[in-house]
Structure 1
Amino acid sequence: MLRQAAATLLLATAMPIAAQTPAPTTAAAPPKLIVAISVDQFSADLFSEYRQYYSGGLKRLTLGAVFPNGFQSHAATETCPGHSTILTGSRPSRTGIIANSWFDLNAARPDKAIYCAEDEAQPGSSSDAYVASPVHLKVPTLGGRMKAANSATRVVSISGKDRAAIMMGGPTADQVWWLGGPQGYVSYKGVATPPLVAKVNEVMARQLAQTNPGFDLPAQCAAKDFAVRAGDRNVGTGRFARAAGDYKSFRISPEQDAMTLAFAAAAIETMALGQQAQTDIISIGLSATDYIGHSYGTEGTETCIQVDRLDRELGAFFDRLDKDGIDYVVVLTADHGGHDLPERHRLNAMPMESRVDTALTPKALNAAVAQRAGLAGKTVLWGDGPSGDLYFDKGLTSAQRGKVEAETLALLRGHPQVAAIFTKAEIAATPSPAGPPENWTLMQKARASFDPTRSGDLLLLLKARVMSIPEQAVMGSVATHGSPWDIDRRVPILFWRKDMRGFEQPLGVETVDILPSLAALIGLPIAKNEIDGRCLDLIAGEGDSCAAR
Structure 2
Amino acid sequence: MKSLAAALLLAAAAPALAQSEAPTAPAPAAPTPAAPPRLIVAISVDQFSADLFQQYRNRFAGGFARLLSGGVFPSAYQGHAATETCPGHSTILTGMRPAHTGIVANNWIDQRVGRSDKIVYCSEDENVVGTTHESYTVSDKHLKVPTLGEMMKAANPATRVVSVAGKDRAAVMMGGHKVDELWWWDGKTYVSYAGRAEPRAVTRGKAVVAALVGRPQAALPLPTWCKPLDRPIQVGGQTLGQGRFERAAGDLKAFRASPAADAAVLSIAAGLIQDMKLGQGAQPDIIAIGASATDYIGHANGTQGTEMCIQMDQLDQALESFFATLDGWGIDYEVVLTADHGAHDMTERQQQRAMPMEAHVAPIAQIEAVGALVAAKLKLTDAPLIGAEGDVYIDDKLPAATRAKVLAEAQRIYQAMPQVAAAFPRAQIAATAMPTTPPETWTLIERARASFDPNRSGDLLVLLKPRVTTIETPAPGYVETHGSPWDYDRRVPLLFWRKGMTPFEQPLSVETVDIVPTLAATIGLPVSGLDGRCLDLDPGPATTCPN
Return the match for 2:182 from 171, 176, 183: 176
* 1:233 to 2:233 alignment: no
Match of 1:275 in 2: 280
SS at match of 2:186: strand
Residue 302 of structure 2 contacts residue 480 of structure 2 at CA under 8 Å; is this kept in 1? Answer: yes
Letter in 1 for 2:419: Q
Q: 1:497 to 1:154 in 2, by over 3 A?
A: same
TM-score of the superposition, structure 1-length normalised?
0.95
Match of 1:470 in 2: 472
Instruction: Name structure 1 gaps, 5 residues minimum.
Output: 17-23
Match of 2:306 in 1: 301
* 1:254 to 2:267 alignment: no
Residue 41 of structure 1 contacts residue 293 of structure 1 at CA under 8 Å; is this kept in 2? Answer: yes
Residue 337 of structure 1 contacts residue 489 of structure 1 at CA under 8 Å; is this kept in 2? Answer: yes
Deviations 1:175-194 (A, max 9, x none): 10001232x21002631222
How far residue 363 of structure 1 moved from its aligned partner, in angstroms, is: 1.8
Return the match for 1:186 from 171, 182, 191: 191
How far residue 374 of structure 1 moved from its aligned partner, in angstroms, is: 1.4
SS at match of 1:234: strand
Residue 331 of structure 1 contacts residue 496 of structure 1 at CA under 8 Å; is this kept in 2? Answer: yes
The number of residues matched between the two structures is 534
Return the match for 1:333 from 317, 335, 338: 338
* 1:142 to 2:148 alignment: yes
How far residue 475 of structure 1 moved from its aligned partner, in angstroms, is: 4.8
Match of 2:460 in 1: 458
Match of 1:490 in 2: 491
Letter in 2 for 1:70: A
Distance of 2:32 and 2:496 partners within structure 1: 16
Return the match for 2:73 from 67, 78, 98: 67
Return the match for 2:248 from 220, 243, 261: 243
Letter in 1 for 2:192: S
SS at match of 1:343: helix
Distance of 1:330 and 1:294 partners within structure 2: 27
Distance of 1:151 and 1:380 partners within structure 2: 50
* 1:88 to 2:94 alignment: yes
Q: 1:198 to 1:542 in 2, by over 3 A?
A: closer
* 1:533 to 2:535 alignment: no
Match of 2:42 in 1: 36
Return the match for 1:382 from 373, 378, 386: 386
SS at match of 2:408: helix
* 1:420 to 2:408 alignment: no
Distance of 1:476 and 1:60 partners within structure 2: 32
Residue 15 of structure 1 contacts residue 196 of structure 1 at CA under 8 Å; is this kept in 2? Answer: no
Instruction: Name structure 2 gaps, 5 residues minimum.
Output: 19-29
Distance of 2:17 and 2:397 partners within structure 1: 58
Letter in 1 for 2:402: Q
Q: Please list, as runs of the form range in 1=range in 2, the aligned pairs for 1:400-439 lying within 5 A after superposition.
A: 400-439=402-441
Distance of 2:281 and 2:404 partners within structure 1: 62
Letter in 2 for 1:523: G
SS at match of 1:383: strand
Deviations 1:341-399 (A, max 9, x none): 110001111112111111111222222221222125x12101134xx110000121223
Match of 1:503 in 2: 504
Residue 175 of structure 1 contacts residue 189 of structure 1 at CA under 8 Å; is this kept in 2? Answer: no
Deviations 1:401-457 (A, max 9, x none): 122112111111110000000000000000111110011000100000000110000
Deviations 1:446-470 (A, max 9, x none): 0000001100000000000101101
Residue 113 of structure 2 contacts residue 127 of structure 2 at CA under 8 Å; is this kept in 1? Answer: no
Distance of 2:507 and 2:8 partners within structure 1: 37
Return the match for 2:106 from 84, 100, 107: 100
How far residue 543 of structure 1 moved from its aligned partner, in angstroms, is: 7.7
Q: 1:30 to 1:254 in 2, by over 3 A?
A: same
Distance of 1:43 and 1:177 partners within structure 2: 25
Q: 1:207 to 1:180 in 2, by over 3 A?
A: same
Letter in 2 for 1:328: Y
Letter in 2 for 1:77: T
How far residue 232 of structure 1 moved from its aligned partner, in angstroms, is: 1.2
Distance of 1:297 and 1:487 partners within structure 2: 14
SS at match of 2:253: helix
Return the match for 1:160 from 163, 166, 182: 166
How far residue 76 of structure 1 moved from its aligned partner, in angstroms, is: 0.1
Q: 1:129 to 1:351 in 2, by over 3 A?
A: same
Distance of 1:14 and 1:117 partners within structure 2: 37
Letter in 2 for 1:267: L
SS at match of 1:491: strand
Residue 57 of structure 1 contacts residue 315 of structure 1 at CA under 8 Å; is this kept in 2? Answer: yes
Deviations 1:187-206 (A, max 9, x none): 02631222221221111111
CA RMSD of aligned residues (A): 1.6
Letter in 1 for 2:291: L
How far residue 8 of structure 1 moved from its aligned partner, in angstroms, is: 1.6
Residue 56 of structure 1 contacts residue 314 of structure 1 at CA under 8 Å; is this kept in 2? Answer: yes
Match of 1:79 in 2: 85
Deviations 1:210-241 (A, max 9, x none): 11012111112111111111121221110000
How far residue 15 of structure 1 moved from its aligned partner, in angstroms, is: 9.2
Match of 2:443 in 1: 441
Match of 1:21 in 2: none
SS at match of 1:517: helix
Deviations 1:128-185 (A, max 9, x none): 1111010000000000000000000000000000000000000101110001232x21
How far residue 126 of structure 1 moved from its aligned partner, in angstroms, is: 1.6
Match of 1:198 in 2: 203
Q: 1:227 to 1:127 in 2, by over 3 A?
A: same
SS at match of 1:294: helix
How far residue 480 of structure 1 moved from its aligned partner, in angstroms, is: 0.2
Residue 503 of structure 1 contacts residue 540 of structure 1 at CA under 8 Å; is this kept in 2? Answer: no
Letter in 1 for 2:246: A
Letter in 1 for 2:153: K
Residue 524 of structure 2 contacts residue 544 of structure 2 at CA under 8 Å; is this kept in 1? Answer: no
Q: 1:216 to 1:523 in 2, by over 3 A?
A: same
Q: 1:212 to 1:476 in 2, by over 3 A?
A: closer
Match of 2:23 in 1: none
Match of 2:292 in 1: 287
Deviations 1:234-287 (A, max 9, x none): 211100000111111000100100100111111111111001111000000000
Residue 79 of structure 2 contacts residue 511 of structure 2 at CA under 8 Å; is this kept in 1? Answer: yes
Letter in 1 for 2:92: I
Deviates more, 1:220-229 or 1:275-284: 220-229
Residue 58 of structure 1 contacts residue 314 of structure 1 at CA under 8 Å; is this kept in 2? Answer: yes
Letter in 2 for 1:533: G
- Aligned residues: percent identity? 56
Residue 237 of structure 1 contacts residue 302 of structure 1 at CA under 8 Å; is this kept in 2? Answer: yes
Distance of 1:476 and 1:10 partners within structure 2: 29
Residue 539 of structure 1 contacts residue 545 of structure 1 at CA under 8 Å; is this kept in 2? Answer: no
TM-score of the superposition, structure 2-length normalised?
0.95
Letter in 2 for 1:539: D
Residue 538 of structure 1 contacts residue 545 of structure 1 at CA under 8 Å; is this kept in 2? Answer: no
Q: Please list, as runs of the form range in 1=range in 2, the aligned pairs for 1:509-520 lying within 5 A after superposition.
A: 509-520=510-521
Distance of 2:476 and 2:216 partners within structure 1: 26
Letter in 1 for 2:9: A
Q: 1:114 to 1:155 in 2, by over 3 A?
A: same
Q: Please list, as runs of the form range in 1=range in 2, the aligned pairs for 1:352-391 lying within 5 A after superposition.
A: 352-376=357-381, 378-385=382-389, 388-391=390-393
How far residue 540 of structure 1 moved from its aligned partner, in angstroms, is: 3.9
